Structure 1
């Protein structure tokens, strides 16, 4: 994700507080999912420090993703100096509330210190030095959290958006070569052999990127590298009428490759968008902000219908989708208020800015509650 890094000096994350009354268990997402798949949210340390958010997260979800606190730039700003205190609080929170935890992410071209793959002159490190740095980071991080996370987003967003290019020209690729992805998976498996291993990306519900993702899965398997699931971020857009059909087709395609599917960063953007995906900020210099004074009921209902269709697809193939994680908890703190256009008022999640459930929440609960 492109959210800004959260400072690590926030103080202890509070446990579930008394500021609001938690919803009854019978009315929560984690109960409605009934163990068919994990359902979760991505939350920042700052978010969990708010007792209202902590209450909501603990009541509604059974798996948690830290928005930024497990990313390389948060854990190892300087070579060999690891800062685990804030990330450890997510472990404490999930253990206290009977939740699972996902590690996001071990290898990414963004929100990572440049020295891992580049020298002081900005040029790529020699292959063996880049591999040494990658292994040292994964060994330390996955080793520290061994047995504490259910799975790792091992490599994030490594596939190119360019039509005729397979892999993104990341610092890791420039230093090590195309096999840096396979090596990252090998290092992660060795450091935390019981954790699930995921490849995570955006727009991989779209045909071109889907085929590249399938190629990556096949490449990894051909090398004897273990990969358990493809993570589909699913930053979807309400006006994209074919998005759910593409998602359905892609889940089936990934399942045919023998991997599970995790929907890892779900939200539904209700605002006008000129482009697609999660990496188009440079294309969006300005944009309309039509809902500054509130989300119109008809738009809220359209969003609810969209979410309902999406969860019908999730349930369509039992055992294939093993997790659905929303990227955020409530509309006011969503990254989409500042992406791809800054300072807009967006409404992409199931709870509004007052932490009241929206029609989308009722729609998801209805789908999950059907026989």
Structure 2
């Protein structure tokens, strides 16, 4: 694709130099070249991958202005609210919902004919404390917690029925400890594995047409992949209404390997489930979950060497994604451009990261052109 741009620009330069001695056909060629250039500039990721899967992005209510809005409309045909639909944000108190921020994103999706994913109905984090507390201040009973969960899912899913086509119903329920299966959350402590099953059942009842996903990170790492597979197989075997698995895709220039990615895609899709990459970014740093400060000798400069490593990783990921287009039904980047990424603040606050395809000025990086180059090569 970079070659196409260069050829078009050369044609335009020639047209200026020889404007005084052109035939009518040459002038027509110039017009055609200009038109082609404009069409190419208007195309975005969603267009290059239109035969593969929707391409989405995580957004906030303040994303729809200036360069950020322009980039969203050009490159994406799907979106996911980064935070405002999580329970603690949208349902901060038992008898109070906060709709304004979520409604703004939903309205933007409708107005611009974009697909929308809901994130997330049941999660152990960003959940209001009220949901686990009884009126006397003690722990809520199993029956009451199930009813509160049902009320929350009914209310939120029903409000966005027809706008949200897919939900992350349960998020990150698998334990990080390889010796454990399900995470020791309050959901699990009170409800056992029923909290997962019931969440999917309630979501399906609220919107039978919505696609329902289990979503998790480190879903490619073999030891966690196997436990996620175990959970998904259990749900499928019990006829729980689940449609797919969301692989978060918070990866780096270090991992995962192509072999690990393909193996995970094979395992999950073998259950008859759709696969979506729901939170893609490619960090310049290894995953250090417990680290909170930069080292004195550490730099966060985006060097040419790091840039090349990121390009190579992104190219590999997208080659695999294209190979699995029959089972992969969506791809979502986690944030819009390097101007802002959650990785600037976690796990090491203040350490600048550059994990996306667009730079701090919302312009395409070199890696963007490498990701879309396949069209020229595969013809």
Question: Which moved further from structure 2: 73-82 or 189-198?
Answer: 73-82
1:193 aligns with 2:200: no
2:225 is the alignment partner of 1:210: yes
**Paired residue for 2:106?**
91
| Aligned twin of 1:135 | 150
Task: For 1:27-42, list aligned pairs within 5 A.
Answer: 27-42=43-58
- Asked if the contact 1:203–1:233 (Cα under 8 Å) also holds between the matched residues in 2, the reply is yes
CA distance in 2, matches of 1:124, 1:258: 38
CA contact (8 A) 1:23 1:59 kept: no
The match for 1:5 is: none
Q: TM-score, normalised by structure 1?
A: 0.87
Give the aligned partner of residue 65 of structure 1.
80
Structure 1 residue 318: deviation in Å?
A: 2.7
Residue among 247, 256, 269 paired with 1:255: 269
CA distance in 1, matches of 2:308, 2:98: 44
Preserved contact between residue 60 and residue 105 of structure 2 (Cα < 8 Å): no
Aligned match of 1:45 in 61, 69, 73? 61
Counterpart mapping for 1:228-267 below 5 A = 228-240=243-255, 242-267=256-281
Task: Determine if contact 2:158/2:207 at 8 Å carries over to the other structure.
Answer: yes
Which structure 1 segments of 5+ residues have no match? Answer: 1-21
Counterpart secondary structure, 1:333: coil
Aligned to 2:339, what secondary structure does the other structure show? helix
Partner of 1:295 in structure 2? 302
Q: Would you say 1:152 and 2:159 are equivalent positions? A: no
1:227 aligned residue: 242
| Alpha-carbon distance change, 259 to 30 in structure 1, aligned in 2, over 3 angstroms | same
Contact 1:291 1:346 in 2 (8 A): no
Match of 2:328 in 1: 321
Cα distance in 2, alignment partners of residues 123 and 38 from structure 1: 45
8 A Cα contact 2:339 2:362, kept in partner:
no
1:190-219 Cα offsets, whole Å, 9 max, x none, are 001101000000001111111111111111
Residue pair 1:159, 1:167 contacting (<8 A) in 2 also:
yes
Tell me, which stretches of 5 or more residues in structure 2 are unaligned? Answer: 1-37
Shift of 1:286: 2.3
**Which protein has the bigger helix share?**
2
1:81 aligned residue (90, 96, 99)? 96
User: Take 2:92 and 2:242, find their aligned partners in 1: how far apart are those partners?
Assistant: 28
Q: 1:297 to 1:83 in 2, by over 3 A?
A: same
Q: 1:163 to 1:368 in 2, by over 3 A?
A: farther
* Partner Cα distance (2:180, 2:272) in 1: 25
* Alignment RMSD: 1.9
* TM-score of the pair, normalised by structure 2: 0.85
Q: Give 1:164 shift.
A: 1.4
Deviations 1:17-37 (A, max 9, x none): xxxxx9856531000002421
Q: Report deviation, 1:301.
A: 2.1
Partner residue of 2:115 out of 87, 93, 100: 100
Could you tell me how far apart the structure 1 residues matched to 2:292 and 2:105 are? 36
Superposition pairs of residues 164-175 of structure 1, within 5 angstroms: 164-175=179-190
Q: Which has the larger radius of gyration?
A: 2
Secondary structure of the corresponding residue to residue 332 of structure 1: coil
Partner Cα separation in structure 1 for residue 94 and residue 39 of structure 2:
45
Q: Cα gap change, 1:223/1:80 in structure 2, threshold over 3 Å: closer, same or farther?
A: farther
